[in-house]
């Protein structure tokens, strides 16, 4: 076993995060001001924390200034990840129609830069949403890019005919462990604040953090995932874990929180993990954050492995 490493007094396990191949896209939502763009972005990212039950993982990437958007208006970019191209398209079209088309003054565009446009794989947006125009929709081709103008009650909803789809990575992660919930949550907030400065990544859970880390499988046949009991302090303390499953928490550790990262490339995920772990360890946790580890499945399910000692 590798000797432990420490960062800011926090032990860094010699564990690795196991991540998976996914399909991904970036959407840019614009509006008359950032508040309306953000409203649509928050709506489209609703119920999108995990592909396990939501079918898709979506979160806000960052605000975009008018000089960073296709129509020169204030905007917000979101990143979306799914396990298949079909699920990604189905989810995006439904959410775009219900959450962006409905939001006052918004428009919707693709945000992935295309190096080889003719060979880029695509997701239909306006191609599907145009029918809401009931025959009054108008198609415009501008510099080789097709847009749809759909009449709505504040004017027109403008969107791309389709948007680029790329390969992405889901499930990068690290777990923060300590003996004080306020300290661990503070370290989580510091980590998320730092990671949100990294381009091309999202942390899809509420405020970027999940307390309900999961393991694959369950004693109940209908469930494909269940609580990660090895990191549940109440089970360690009670001795209720089955003999085949041992607690990963030490006697002095009473709380664990997980941060999950989705990114467009391995470099993006690794960069986010690095700055997040660094920020957490150097947050003024006063010893309440004791250890950082990562979740994996023995390397059997995901081909992307992010070893914490290499990351930091």
Out of 135, 166, 197, pick the residue that ends a domain: 166
What Å distances lie between residue 262 and 80, 119, 202, 224, 256, CA to CA?
9, 24, 5, 20, 20
pTM over 0.75: yes
Same domain, 180 and 148: no
Same domain, 158 and 172: no
Same domain, 28 and 149: yes
Out of 98, 131, 166, pick the residue that ends a domain: 166
Report the pLDDT value the prediction gives residue 85, as an integer from 0 to 100: 96
Same domain, 151 and 174: no
The pLDDT of 217-234, averaged and rounded, is 91
Taking the C-alpha atoms of residue 71 and residue 237, their distance in angstroms, rounded to an integer, is 57
Same domain, 35 and 153: yes
Same domain, 146 and 196: no
Phi, psi of 293, rounded to the nearest 5 degrees: -130, -170
Taking the C-alpha atoms of residue 304 and residue 297, their distance in angstroms, rounded to an integer, is 12
Give the number of C-alpha atoms closer than 13 A to the C-alpha of residue 142, restricted to the C-beta side: 12
Same domain, 184 and 159: no
pLDDT tens profile 95-147: 999 999 999 999 999 999 887 666 689 999 999 999 999 999 999 999 989 99
Task: Write the CB contacts of 253 (distance below 8 Å, at least 6 apart in sequence).
Answer: 177, 178, 179, 233, 290, 291
Give residue 244's pLDDT band: very low, low, confident or very high (50, 70, 90): low
Give residue 236's pLDDT band: very low, low, confident or very high (50, 70, 90): confident
Taking the C-alpha atoms of residue 276 and residue 70, their distance in angstroms, rounded to an integer, is 31
CATH of the domain at 187: 3.30.70.520
Same domain, 181 and 55: no
Of 179, 210, 191, 192, nearest in space to 289 by CA: 179
Q: Domain limits at 70?
A: 23-166
Q: Is the predicted pLDDT of residue 245 greater than 90, yes or no?
A: no
Out of 142, 166, 190, pick the residue that ends a domain: 166
Start-to-end C-alpha separation, the chain:
18
Q: How many domains is the chain built from?
A: 2
Same domain, 31 and 154: yes
Q: Is the predicted pLDDT of residue 247 greater than 80, yes or no?
A: yes
Same domain, 173 and 125: no
């Amino acid at each position: 076993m590798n000797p432990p490493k420490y960062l800011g007094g926090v032990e860094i396990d010699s564990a690795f995060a196991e991540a998976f191949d996914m399909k991904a896209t970036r959407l840019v939502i614009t509006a008359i001001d950032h508040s309306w763009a953000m409203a649509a972005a928050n709506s489209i990212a609703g119920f999108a924390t995990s592909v396990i039950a939501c079918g898709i993982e979506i979160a806000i990437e960052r605000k975009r200034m008018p000089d960073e958007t296709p129509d020169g208006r204030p905007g917000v970019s979101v990143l979306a990840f799914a396990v298949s191209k079909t699920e990604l398209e189905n989810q995006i079209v439904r959410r775009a129609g219900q959450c962006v088309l409905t939001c006052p003054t918004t428009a919707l565009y693709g945000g992935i830069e295309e190096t080889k446009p003719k060979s880029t794989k695509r997701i239909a947006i306006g191609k599907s949403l145009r029918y809401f125009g009931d025959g009054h929709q108008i198609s415009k081709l501008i510099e080789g890019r097709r847009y749809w103008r759909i009449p709505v009650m504040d004017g027109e909803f403008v969107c791309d005919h389709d948007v680029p789809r790329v390969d992405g990575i889901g499930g990068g992660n690290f777990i923060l462990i300590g003996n004080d919930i306020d300290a661990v949550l503070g370290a989580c907030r510091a980590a998320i604040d730092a990671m949100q400065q990294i381009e091309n990544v999202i942390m899809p859970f509420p405020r970027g953090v999940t307390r309900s880390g999961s393991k694959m499988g369950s004693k109940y046949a209908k469930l494909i995932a269940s609580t990660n009991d090895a990191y549940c302090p109440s089970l360690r303390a009670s001795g209720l874990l089955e003999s085949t499953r041992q607690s990963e928490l030490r006697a002095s550790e009473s709380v664990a929180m997980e941060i999950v990262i989705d990114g467009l490339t391995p470099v993006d995920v690794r960069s986010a993990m690095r700055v997040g772990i660094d920020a957490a360890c150097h947050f003024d946790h006063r010893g309440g954050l004791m250890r950082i580890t990562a979740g994996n499945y023995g390397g059997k399910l995901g081909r992307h492995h992010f070893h914490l000692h290499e990351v930091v």
